[in-house]
Structure 1
């Protein structure tokens, strides 16, 4: 793993490439005010996974106006995915993806454009992703005389639930539309605005959800001796699970086990018949994942046996996300053009993170084998927020990152100054793919 802030690609001594120069030309006069208005509108109207109908409609409308062949509802019941196709002569087919869904989070940013949908918030930056995607699609359409090939613009639903990418592929994404030669995507992240994090290889971890049901014997709270209390047993399970990563996984491995929910009972004086525990695992290898699942099953079964539960616990592995592994050559090329566009010191390799994505499922779907891709992060913390965190945390980058609102926080509020740069990252990455020959994969 690289260090948390290791420099990646730097601009070439020979000067900017044709892709970088063209990207700067195409984005020199971006309608930033209009794009910021689009962002504010999307932020005010967040929609949960697979329900992004308004967001999809806004994106589809902008794509049609820019000259794209546009389809909506790609994803069936899995969500209202949007696909825009711009055919522009011979050349590679490049896919740009932005996810559209929001989260069940009550916003606490205090922004003047705060969410108008109670209990729902764009707490992960997907409103910014759609804005970036729209701006890039419009800029590339306006500058189509500078590149040749086919551009696919994909507004993906239901990333937060890990189901949207697979739903679009299952609904014929690569049969109904041109199959891409390469996929590009990016994500807003905490950190001082103006950095672009690339990792040529493993960049994000796998995620696995696990549900445990402890079966007890219910009864009256005044007579616990006549019951088998599943709440107490569940508490022992939760406590014991904390030793899985610290005592069963080698220190050289990266893994996280989170107990996200524990539920039981209906009244103060009723001992319930069952308790439910919901877990989330983050792993970077299949071996560690399987070892952790085996430990969870062993611990749950052992604690239930020790408590005298009438039957073994139910352990169900449910939702999952794959690891995100960049095609190294593709990512290095995109990182290089980003370094040319934004300057020395702006492109960094933070190494793999424990977050997860369903974007790789777009690369796995359809005939023809795996499609190479590059996925990167755009830091988006406003300068005043970052500087305040730096004043508290000193020079330690990890402590600074921990001190600012992160994705999924009710206080997450990206800097509007990242609207233009986020468009340029997609435009320059696409132009590099159109210009380059011999796409890897």
Structure 2
């Protein structure tokens, strides 16, 4: 039997076509649960391969495709497909100029600032290769193009909309993400791969007054400012420095005129943790501080804290990770890291596996220009490089092929023909 690397080399699709497809997806992003045209392009591409049973419109605009190819394991490969309300400033020729209304009905510039355009293209290229290489593997392949990852809701929506009534339940689930690492670098790890994330809206009610008479009002801006600063002491003074925790106040809206103390202030918060115990501590302390700052402000109004998004912890199964370590190391060589740093962001990918009590593994790979990355590393300026959610984050086109190879290697690791046929 040919090696996995030999299969990839023999059946790799036309690079120019997929690089143009990547540019198309990059310049035509769509926000969470609005990925209509993105999904339509995915469905059309899969149908043109004439190999897959395609299921559109799952959990919104989610797409699943199935290729049954004899006895063996069933593996699901996942790519997320939504963009972000970010105005692109990269300057590339195929930069996004798109605008869409977000879930609050406000029109925003829209960009694939997280690299999901890379994920889509990589998985479609893998779909073509694996269809053409059917003689080299055995088992069942499921492709999952998931909507609304950026709202932490797409995986759950697909499961609740009957994903596993439409496609077979997988034995193993694999996904990946492009990151601001050096292009070509790829890695996995055992155990915790991505943190939890909880998002909140905080409404602080004050008492409106003229700026010249602050004593008759209750200033929600001062209360908000005190709350924001005090929240930062949770990580600084209540969390073990060796642990991982972040509390971010990412938006504040209050007031309209310079001589009016406003009636209210609205904030948005994001809380991340590396272990469940720390998450609970962060959430409890946050609520304590928010209420206490209202009391300290002399306000009789209790702040309203609304929890609107939750990302679960993402854990890589050790058995799955161990199998991938062998094939990733064999294929990627020195570019592979078996203990890649944990993803500091969060993912809802794991729900596709945990909802049916199946194991999963998530890999990470780099997307930044090698020369730019190496120079920044030499100068100690890595933190200045654009990362996920930056208006300047446009992964190198070559990262499409790293993702493509990782998907194919993952599939062939578990769809080994000799092993699966021998089981029957």
Normalising by the smaller structure, the TM-score range is over 0.9
**Aligned-CA RMSD value:** 1.7
| Aligned positions, number | 409
Residue of structure 2 equivalent to 1:273: 263
SS of 1:356's partner is coil
Per the alignment, residue 301 of structure 2 pairs with 311
1:62 and 2:15 matched:
no
Q: Deviations over 1:51-79 (max 9, x none)?
A: 1111111111111111211111111xxx3
Alignment partners' CA distance in 1, 2:337 and 2:319: 16
Provide the residue aligned with 2:103 in structure 1: none
1:416 aligns with 2:397: yes
1:34 is aligned to 2:34: no
Indicate the SS of the match to 1:114.
coil
Instruction: Give the C-alpha shift of residue 348 in structure 1.
Output: 4.2
**Are positions 1:51 and 2:38 aligned together?**
no
Q: Is 1:106 matched with 2:87?
A: yes
- For 2:410 and 2:219, the matched residues in 1 are separated by 57
Instruction: Note the 1:314-353 alignment, pairs <5 A.
Output: 314-353=304-343
Q: Which residue of 2 aligns with 1:204?
A: 194
TM-score where L is the length of structure 2: 0.93
Shift of 1:18: 5.6
The residue aligned with 2:105 is none
Distance 2:375 2:342 in 1: 26
Aligned counterparts of 1:343 and 1:54: Cα–Cα separation in 2? 38
2:351 to 361, 376, 383: 361
Tell me if the contact between 1:86 and 1:150 (Cα under 8 Å) persists in the aligned partners.
yes
Question: Following the alignment from structure 1 to structure 2, what is the Cα–Cα distance between the partners of residues 232 and 243?
Answer: 17
Deviation at 1:19, TM superposition (A): 5.2
1:332-383 per-position Cα deviation (integer Å, ceiling 9, x unaligned): 2112211111223533422323210010111122xxx411111011111012
Normalising by structure 1, report the TM-score. 0.89
Given that residues 19 and 431 in structure 1 are in contact (C-alpha distance below 8 angstroms), is that contact kept between their aligned partners in structure 2? Answer: no
Q: Could you say what secondary structure the match of 2:42 adopts?
A: helix
Kindly state the Cα deviation for residue 22 of structure 1 after the two structures are TM-superposed: 4.7
Query: Which ranges in structure 2 are unaligned for 5 or more consecutive residues?
Result: 100-108
Counterpart CA distance in 1 for 2:163 and 2:17 is 30
From 73, 86, 92, give the equivalent of 2:73. 92
Distance in 1 (alpha carbons) for counterparts of 2:7 and 2:274 = 35
Match of 1:431 among 378, 400, 412: 412
- Written as runs of structure 1 = structure 2, the 5 A alignment for 1:153-192 is 153-192=143-182
Find the counterpart in structure 2 of residue 386 from structure 1: 373
Q: Distance in 1 between matches of 2:191 and 2:289?
A: 34
Q: Deviation digits for residues 261-302 of structure 1, max 9, x if unmatched?
A: 111122222212221221111102221111111111111111
Shift of 1:191: 1.5
Tell me, which stretches of 5 or more residues in structure 1 are unaligned? 1-16, 394-398
SS of aligned partner of 1:209: strand
SS at match of 1:353: coil
Instruction: Please point out which of 71, 74, 81 is paired with 2:58.
Output: 74
Equivalent residues of 1:19, 1:432 under 8 A apart: no
